[in-house]
Amino acid sequence: MTAIDPTAHLTAEQIEELGRELDAIRDEVIAGRGEKDAAYIRKVISAQRTLELVSRGVLLFSFFPPAWLIGTAGLSVAKIMDNMEIGHNILHGQWDWMRDPKIHSTTWEWDHVSPADQWKHSHNELHHTYTNVIGKDNDLGYGIMRVDEDQKWHPFHLGQPLWNFINACFFEYGIAAYDLELGKNLHKRRRKNPEFRARAKAVGRKIRKQVLKDYVIHPLLSGPSFLTTLAATFTANLVRNIWSHSVIMCGHFPEGVQVFERRSIKGETRGQWYLRQMMGSANISGSRAMHFMTGNLSHQIEHHLFPDLPSNRYAEVAVKVRALFEKYELEYVTGPLPKQVFSAWHKVFRLSLPNKKPKVKTPDREQELVAA
Amino acid sequence: MTSATLRSGAWKLLEMITTPLLPSDYLDLVSPLRAGADLRGRIEAVHPETADAATIVIRPGRGWRGHTAGQYVRIGVDVDGRRLWRAYSITSPTNRQDGRVTITVKAIPDGKVSNHLVRRAKPGTLVQLDQPTGDFVLPQAKPAKVLYLTAGSGITPVMGMLRDIDFDDVVMVHCAPQPQDVIFRNELHDLVTAKKLRLTEVHTDTDGMLDIARLGELVPDWAERETWACGPAGLLDAAEEFWSGHGVGERLHTERFRPGIVVAGDGGEVTFSATGKTVDADGATPLLDAGEEAGVLMPSGCRMGICFGCVTPLKAGAVRDLRTGEITEAEPGVLIQTCVSAAAGPCDIER
């Protein structure tokens, strides 16, 4: 909803045609899903489990500094793999077609304090359906930040660079609170709502298990390495949190990404829905390793168009999607990670202040100046 | 503390160590066939039997409870990355020394699983297993005279019986299009040579279909024999009519391989079996809408197929994906997105 609508040059027919072309891309991938894809996700899952096991094993000797470094690095990567390429994507139903009950959106649980089912609701349902619609998509600043000029400014936003930094460090807790809609539900009356209480209890249980594992049991198992293992798991969680926060910020916050008004999605057609996903998301460019470590959320645009396609297919889909962007003369927002992270943070700082007054002098203002 | 409480305490500690996964998720990496694991088996060999049939040798996991001759096992095989379950008769004897079991599979036209097993299955592959089941089995007391009446792959459960127990007087009538289509032909002929079996092969390409009414010409004392019959529905229907027509219906035991006859249509009667509601839905109405209109509490989410918040078991029948037109048939463990699926014929949604 920026001043100039970057899609204004498209006719309604063109938008529906674009939708059909995207549907065709989707159908092609679905028809081609098979053994190779299944082998891919199984390989990633067993690699993650092996890496986590080995890293935890190495951390038993973490009083020895090289062991600490190796174990912490391994555990950080294992946790990132669990959350990004495995957890996020399985919980999107990307692998449900395999009919393997162990790799399924209804059974998967991840190394994260937000229980999978609550996250699926706030993320898959609210965020993915209402992407970047002000007032409907709470991912737009997570309810603690202002990330677009069209959002109302409040003095609270002055502190948002700090809120954002704290949120990055404790991102999994931020997400859990966010999935609980804590801001809205902490009012006295809502706090007593049994449905909310049940969900809060589930989060409490999950936090207890996660904390017990990372900060009590594994350090205790390490015996003389108790403190160093504790520090290692804390570091791994911190690294994972900051990494996933950065990747996710790059998905919708960099400059060039559009937001939408609530009334703009009334009676939205399939083509218009696709167009909103295209304009509301941004990619990260980089190597294959980079795409893997972001859980292929570096292909955020493709992910938002086709959230249920297997993540290992986004790279090939991206080539076709990008060609459509060019064909329809739309801006494909992408860039290397440092650039995108900087752009997103820049926005966070910029919008912590109220909007600058338009530079155009109004006649009234001129008169005032003259009078002065 | 008893050892049981100690064990469960140790297990709880293990669960705390591996949360949010389970200890078994890690153990499966190294020992998928161990005791206590979900029941699986490893394919160890594939032996061709005829041009379109093969015997699959499987080492079952430690949890395998063993079978009775004539029983079948449900087996879950990943075909093109998708897990599909089918039932096959067990053809190995119950006392096989090496602990392995065999199924013998005939590739049927367009059969996804059967063609995969016969033509592409590789030793080393893991498959999912259920415990063996089925009541097409021999009685405790040995009958004096036995008749096996089989056709095509209907011979498989009977072969399990033949290999398991020697009877004093066994006759087999087996139908197959041509001699080379007879599964286990060499082994059957060896049994004949050893005078353990009297065999009549009916080659339907040259002899025509077996006319049950003339069974007496092949086996004059058929009515005195305890009979096990397995084959196409037509043969079994005729046999049942013939046996009961002669007042000896209780001597006949039949096994019907469940035919896959889900006919995908356009719309149909939708049953919500958990709530006991039934509605007629057309081929364009999402099952989610149909259920909600009938007052069934349906899980829902984005209503456009992207959030997977509405996935629900499909217990019977077939549904069509409204976006792609793809048909999904009910199988154990099959879940569908009700918001983008419509009835393709009668179906049963577990809600």
User: Are A122 and A328 in contact, with CB atoms under 8 Å apart?
Assistant: no
Alpha-carbon gap: A60 to the closest alpha carbon of chain B (Å): 13
Contacts of A120 in chain B (CB under 8 A): 307-309
Is the pLDDT reported for residue A313 higher than 90? Answer: yes
Is the pLDDT reported for residue A206 higher than 80? Answer: yes
According to the model, what pLDDT value does residue A1 have? Answer: 46
Strand partners, B202: B175
According to the model, what pLDDT value does residue B106 have? Answer: 96
Contacts of A102 in chain B (CB under 8 A): 25
Is the pLDDT reported for residue B208 higher than 80? Answer: yes
CB distance B302–A273 less than 8 Å?
no
For the residues of B307-345, what is the DSSP string, one character each? S--SEEEEEEEEEEETTT--EEE--TT-EEEGGGEEEEE
According to the model, what pLDDT value does residue A182 have? Answer: 87
B154 phi/psi in degrees, rounded to 5: -65, -10
CB distance B81–A50 less than 8 Å?
no
According to the model, what pLDDT value does residue B199 have? Answer: 97
CB distance A106–B335 less than 8 Å?
yes
- Confirm or reject contact between B29 and chain A (CB < 8 A): yes
- Confirm or reject contact between B82 and chain A (CB < 8 A): yes
- Confirm or reject contact between B307 and chain A (CB < 8 A): yes
DSSP character for A350? H
A136 phi/psi in degrees, rounded to 5: -115, -35
A321 phi/psi in degrees, rounded to 5: -65, -40
How far CA A328 is from CA of A26, A228, A318, A331, in Å, comes to 18, 55, 15, 9
- CA distance linking residue A315 with residue A332, whole number of Å: 15
Is the pLDDT reported for residue A367 higher than 60? Answer: no
Closest CA to B157 of B85, B104, B86: B104
Closest CA to A134 of A148, A123, A145, A120: A148
DSSP character for B218? H
According to the model, what pLDDT value does residue A190 have? Answer: 82
- Confirm or reject contact between B304 and chain A (CB < 8 A): yes
Mutation site, A51, A99, A131, interface B, largest B CB count within 10 A: A99
According to the model, what pLDDT value does residue B193 have? Answer: 97
Q: With bands split at pLDDT 50, 70 and 90, how would you rate the model's confidence at B286?
A: very high
Q: Which two tokens stand for residue B130?
A: 């259920």
- CA distance linking residue B126 with residue B130, whole number of Å: 13
Alpha-carbon gap: B17 to the closest alpha carbon of chain A (Å): 6
Which region among A99-108, B232-241, B263-272 has the lowest average model confidence (pLDDT)? B263-272
Run of H or E including B127: strand B126-129
Closest CA to A172 of A252, A122, A114: A114
Helix (H, G, I), strand (E, B) or coil at B270: strand
Closest CA to B86 of B70, B105, B59, B99: B105
Counted across chains A and B, CB pairs separated by less than 8 A come out at 104
User: Using one digit for the tens of pLDDT, what is the confidence trace for A263-300?
Assistant: 989 999 999 999 999 999 999 999 999 999 999 999 99
User: Are A312 and B81 in contact, with CB atoms under 8 Å apart?
Assistant: no
Q: Pick the residue from chain B with its C-alpha nearest to A303.
A: B306
According to the model, what pLDDT value does residue B139 have? Answer: 87
According to the model, what pLDDT value does residue A143 have? Answer: 81
Strand order in the sheet with B226-230: B198-203, B170-176, B146-151, B226-230, B252-255
Q: Which two tokens stand for residue A310?
A: 């297997």
Q: Which two tokens stand for residue B52?
A: 């379109």
- CA distance linking residue A29 with residue A45, whole number of Å: 22
pLDDT above 90 as % of chain B: 91
CB distance B83–A121 less than 8 Å?
no
According to the model, what pLDDT value does residue B332 have? Answer: 84
Q: With bands split at pLDDT 50, 70 and 90, how would you rate the model's confidence at B329?
A: very high
Alpha-carbon gap: A130 to the closest alpha carbon of chain B (Å): 9
- Confirm or reject contact between B22 and chain A (CB < 8 A): no
Q: Pick the residue from chain B with its C-alpha nearest to A124.
A: B307
- Confirm or reject contact between B301 and chain A (CB < 8 A): yes
According to the model, what pLDDT value does residue B331 have? Answer: 87
Strand order in the sheet with B40-50: B82-89, B72-79, B126-129, B40-50, B53-60, B101-106
Which of the two residues, A3 and A356, has the higher pLDDT score?
A: A356
**A172 CB contacts (<8 Å, ≥6 apart)?**
A112, A113, A114, A237, A240, A241
CB distance A38–B333 less than 8 Å?
no
ipTM: 0.92
Averaged over A135-147, what is the pLDDT? 87
Averaged over B100-117, what is the pLDDT? 96
- CA distance linking residue B34 with residue B95, whole number of Å: 21
**CB-facing half-sphere around the CA of B343: CA atoms within 13 A:** 23
Alpha-carbon gap: A216 to the closest alpha carbon of chain B (Å): 10
User: Using one digit for the tens of pLDDT, what is the confidence trace for A20-43?
Assistant: 999 999 999 999 999 999 999 999
Alpha-carbon gap: B157 to the closest alpha carbon of chain A (Å): 28
Q: With bands split at pLDDT 50, 70 and 90, how would you rate the model's confidence at A8?
A: very high
Averaged over B202-219, what is the pLDDT? 95
According to the model, what pLDDT value does residue A135 have? Answer: 87
CB distance B301–A111 less than 8 Å?
no
Q: Pick the residue from chain B with its C-alpha nearest to A210.
A: B19
According to the model, what pLDDT value does residue A366 have? Answer: 46
How far CA A219 is from CA of A66, A227, A267, B335, in Å, comes to 17, 7, 55, 41
Strands B53-60 and B101-106: antiparallel
Contacts of B308 in chain A (CB under 8 A): 91-93, 96, 105-106, 120, 124, 308
Alpha-carbon gap: A350 to the closest alpha carbon of chain B (Å): 33
User: Using one digit for the tens of pLDDT, what is the confidence trace for A207-243?
Assistant: 999 999 999 999 999 999 999 999 999 999 999 999 9
Averaged over A94-113, what is the pLDDT? 97
According to the model, what pLDDT value does residue A368 have? Answer: 47
Smallest Cβ distance to A124: which of B84, B301, B326? B301
For the residues of A167-224, what is the DSSP string, one character each? HHHTHHHHHHHHHTTHHHHTSHHHHT-HHHHHHHHHHHHHHHHHHHIIIIIHHHHTGG
Smallest Cβ distance to A49: which of B20, B29, B337? B29
> Rounded mean pLDDT of chain B?
94
> Rounded mean pLDDT of chain A?
93
Closest CA to A90 of A103, A81, A101, A77: A103
DSSP character for A94? T
Alpha-carbon gap: B169 to the closest alpha carbon of chain A (Å): 47
Is the pLDDT reported for residue B190 higher than 50? Answer: yes
- CA distance linking residue B186 with residue B224, whole number of Å: 28
Quick one: A162 exposed, middle or buried, by C-beta within 10 A (0-12, 13-18, 19+)? Answer: exposed
CB distance B306–A121 less than 8 Å?
no
Is the pLDDT reported for residue B259 higher than 80? Answer: no
Alpha-carbon gap: B320 to the closest alpha carbon of chain A (Å): 15
- CA distance linking residue A96 with residue A124, whole number of Å: 15
Is the pLDDT reported for residue A133 higher than 70? Answer: yes
User: Using one digit for the tens of pLDDT, what is the confidence trace for B54-105?
Assistant: 999 999 999 999 999 999 999 999 999 999 999 999 999 999 999 999 999 9
Is the pLDDT reported for residue A360 higher than 60? Answer: no
Quick one: A296 exposed, middle or buried, by C-beta within 10 A (0-12, 13-18, 19+)? Answer: buried
Contacts of B309 in chain A (CB under 8 A): 120-121, 124-125
